[in-house]
Amino acid sequence: MESKAFIEIMRPHNCILAGIVGILGALVAYEGIPGINQLALIFLVVYFGCSAGNTINDYFDYEIDRINRPERPIPRGAIPRKIALYYALLQYLIGLILAYFLGIRAFLFALGAYALTFLYAWKLKPLPFVGNLAVATLTGVTPIYGAVGVGRIGLAGYLAVCAFLVNVAREIMKDIEDVEGDREMGAKTLPIILGEKKAGIIASVFGFATVITSFLPIKVGIGLGYAPMVIVDAMILKASIDVLKDPRKASKAQKSLKMATFIAVISFLLGALTKGV
């Protein structure tokens, strides 16, 4: 058993990014700077929810990861599966304890989101499209959690819708990327059921829908700081068109969408802070 595996299985870079999105969701909703204690708790609750979800996902995905991700801690023998399960449950518990200090609404919201991460890894992931929607929902509610943590919603609602749509596209692209290992394990993802070409079309439709939705905040008076969203829309359009033309470009496209999502959050934050300008 490798001690570093306990950090690695969390995939901390993803969790830190998720925590930052939670904080930015709070800032977007608050349209200012809430208390540092609130922001720290929001970050940690999102972080532990993400890390627990990653850990439990590796626990349930052991067989598939032996083909698609053999370098991960459990398949390579760096951490026993049973220990990974206990570790995931500990992370869930820590996150929920921290969520309690943000108030009952934030606690219940976190409980529901945590339950969905477990249910996704346990039952929903192999289901065609349902698993994609579950992951996109979890991504979309991350900025909403930040908003709940500060007691407001505001522009975070628009951010959540955009995050949901673009992540449906990204999840389908990831399924196209992983189709070989998923087929080997008998998974029923969209590209396996419909074919990679049709799955690519569906992913692109959600990408285009994200671009259209990104214009909605302009109608409610978001500030000039929202301008970088033009770059985000260009990245999403390119990724969507690339996959539409050639599904084999799904790996590069989904990574581009991940970067676009982070830039979009920054754009929403700057737009919220410059509202009325």
Whether 99 contacts 34, CB under 8 Å: no
Q: What is the pLDDT of residue 155?
A: 85
Q: For the chain, what is the mean pLDDT? A: 92
Residues 84 and 6: beta-carbon distance below 8 Å: no
Position 229 confidence tier, pLDDT thresholds 50, 70, 90: very high
Statement to judge: residues 136 and 176 lie in one domain: no
Angle CA(190)–CA(193)–CA(198) in degrees, nearest 5? Answer: 60
Q: What is the mean pLDDT of residues 105-128?
A: 93
Give per-residue pLDDT as tens, 139-186: 999 999 999 999 988 888 999 999 999 999 999 999 999 888 778 777
53 with 189, same domain: the answer is no
Q: What tokens does 200 get?
A: 């690519």
- What's the confidence (pLDDT) of residue 273? 85
pLDDT of 276 over the 70 cut: no
pTM for this model (two decimals):
0.84
Specify whether 148 is located in the same domain as 171. Answer: no
Tens digits of residue pLDDT in 52-94: 999 999 999 888 888 878 899 999 999 999 999 999 999 999 9
Supply the range of the domain harboring residue 25.
1-153
Residues 147 and 12 in one domain: yes
Distance CA 207, CA 189 (A): 19
Only one residue has tokens 């609750």, namely 45
Please check whether residues 12 and 109 belong to one and the same domain.
yes
133 lies in the same domain as 178 = no
Encode pLDDT of 191-208 as tens digits: 999 999 999 999 999 999
DSSP label of 247: G
pLDDT above 70 covers what percent of the chain?
A: 99
What pLDDT was estimated at residue 231?
96
Token pair recorded at residue 87: 């570790």
Structural domains counted in the chain: 2
Q: Are residues 147 and 161 in the same domain?
A: no
The two three-digit tokens of residue 78, written as one number: 């760096």
Instruction: Indicate whether 13 and 139 sit together in one domain.
Output: yes
Is-contact 120 135, C-beta < 8 A?
yes
Residues in CB range of 141: below 8 A, 6 or more apart: 109, 113, 160
What is the domain-level CATH number for residue 194?
1.20.120.1780
Residue 139 or 210, more confident: 210
Q: Which of 153, 187, 210 is the last residue of a domain?
A: 153
The reply to whether 148 and 269 lie within a common domain is: no
More confident of the two residues 277 and 169: 169
Q: Are residues 242 and 142 located together in one domain of the fold?
A: no
Q: Same structural domain for residues 94 and 161?
A: no
Q: Among 153, 183, 213, which residue terminates a domain?
A: 153
**7-11, 21-25, 123-127, 157-161 — which is least confidently predicted?**
123-127
Give CA torsion, residues 218, 220, 226, 232, to 10 deg: -50
- Is the Cβ–Cβ distance between 122 and 89 less than 8 Å? no
Residues 129 and 112 in one domain: yes
CATH of the domain at 47: 1.10.357.140
Q: How confident is the model at residue 101 (pLDDT cuts 50, 70, 90)?
A: very high
Domain endpoint, select from 103, 134, 153: 153
pLDDT score for 145: 96
Higher pLDDT, 29 or 231: 231
- 106 vs 45: CA distance, rounded Å: 10
**Residue 192 main-chain phi, psi, to 5 deg:** -80, -40
